[in-house]
């Protein structure tokens, strides 16, 4: 079948012409005649999402994941990594067991695995997390969590005692390690990256501030081409000038939503793990004003990054291939002849018109 688009983003370039899909695979780019409008891009990959459409992954049932997938497909997401903030062990185990019970569906976004954002974080940079639940890295606790369900990424503070050894343990188990909620110096951050950590979680937020003589984890991450820095482009977490500096740095840039259950829902009070979050005017905050995730969607993040000065291929890369690489999933986030047809069709103003997973149209619903 033909998608009926005028162009596509392929390997970082805009290719004029239509896209052909057969048996769930991409079979051709640049086909003539081209469609009258629209652009086909790889499906978006969100590697940090705490909840969506009224569902908080800390308390989600297996059935809830189906509802979330349907809602996320409408925003162009074809794969995502549900995320848990710092919580007591019993809560994390229950959430992992629930995820382990989810039956994969061919007609829904793919679930990469769970992102554990904690508990081995810094109380000095707690953000919206409960500092009383934060712990020094503990291999025995880590093994219990890994046994409970599919963990794919862990965010930790590399300056905590035992962090480097835990990074090596996780990398040896094929689990990606990101640094965040951290008061690490640049030297401590570099040590973590050299030990196998590959990313910085929501750059500049809940971490040691950048200083010209003390660049901290943000400066260390931005200076390395082998590190992915994830960013929340919602108009609250980062200034536009900061975004422009990030885009000029050597680091790979990945868009995340850090969305909570309020995403796609009206203003009100919602849960983020064991935190109560108040949402108003697009901002999600604790009662003391601390930012607590977001209500951002991936399609909006792409539009916001383009508005901040990124060209379209770079913005698409940040929503697709970059987060997929960060999650260790090189099968996601790219379009190529012979690749799975995980595709989003965007209108000329970059709103989502269609989402396909493995060639099956999951948005709009049939």
**Residues recognised as catalytic:** 258
Contact 315, 346 (CB under 8 A): no
Rounded CA-CA distance 164/139 in Å is 11
- Within 10 A of 130 (CB to CB), how many other CB atoms are there? 17
User: What's the rounded Cα separation, in Å, for the pair 122 and 77?
Assistant: 31
Peptide bond preceding 364 in cis form (omega within 30 of 0): yes
Distance CA 329, CA 24 (A): 19
User: What is the number of other CB atoms lying within 10 angstroms of the CB of residue 171?
Assistant: 15
| Cβ neighbours of residue 3 closer than 8 Å, sequence gap 6 or more | 18, 19, 20, 21, 35, 38, 40, 343, 345, 354
Whole-angstrom distance, CA of residue 178 vs CA of residue 156: 6
């Amino acid at each position: 079948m033909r998608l009926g688009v005028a162009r596509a983003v392929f390997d970082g370039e805009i290719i004029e012409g239509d896209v052909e899909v057969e048996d769930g695979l991409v079979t051709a780019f640049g086909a003539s005649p081209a469609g009258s409008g629209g652009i086909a891009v790889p499906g978006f990959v969100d590697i940090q999402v705490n909840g969506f459409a009224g569902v908080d992954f800390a308390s989600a049932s297996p059935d809830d994941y189906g509802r979330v997938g349907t809602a996320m497909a409408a925003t162009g997401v074809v794969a995502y990594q549900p995320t848990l903030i710092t919580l007591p062990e019993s809560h994390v185990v229950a959430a992992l067991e629930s995820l382990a019970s989810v039956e994969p569906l061919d007609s829904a976004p793919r679930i990469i695995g769970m992102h554990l954002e904690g508990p081995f974080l810094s109380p000095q940079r707690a953000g919206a997390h409960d500092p009383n639940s934060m712990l020094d890295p503990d291999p025995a606790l880590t093994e219990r969590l890994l046994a409970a369900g599919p963990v794919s990424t862990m965010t930790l503070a590399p300056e905590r005692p035992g962090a480097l050894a835990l990074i090596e343990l996780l990398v040896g188990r094929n689990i990606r390690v990101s640094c965040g909620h951290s008061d690490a110096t640049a030297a401590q951050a570099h040590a973590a990256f050299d030990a196998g950590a590959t990313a910085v979680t929501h750059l500049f937020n809940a971490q040691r501030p950048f200083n010209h003589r003390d660049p901290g984890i943000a400066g260390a991450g931005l200076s390395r081409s082998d590190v992915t820095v994830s960013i929340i482009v919602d108009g609250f977490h980062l200034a536009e000038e900061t975004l422009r500096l990030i885009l000029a740095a050597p680091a790979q840039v990945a868009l995340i939503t850090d969305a909570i259950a309020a995403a796609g829902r009206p203003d009100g009070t919602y849960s983020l793990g064991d935190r109560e979050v108040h949402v108003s005017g697009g901002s999600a905050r604790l009662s003391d004003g601390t930012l607590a995730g977001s209500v951002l969607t991936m399609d909006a993040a792409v539009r916001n990054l383009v508005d901040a000065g990124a060209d379209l291929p770079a913005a698409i890369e940040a929503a697709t291939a970059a987060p997929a690489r960060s999650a260790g999933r090189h099968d996601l986030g790219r379009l190529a002849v012979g690749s799975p047809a995980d595709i989003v069709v965007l209108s000329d103003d970059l709103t989502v018109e269609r989402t396909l997973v493995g060639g099956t149209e999951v948005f709009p619903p049939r």
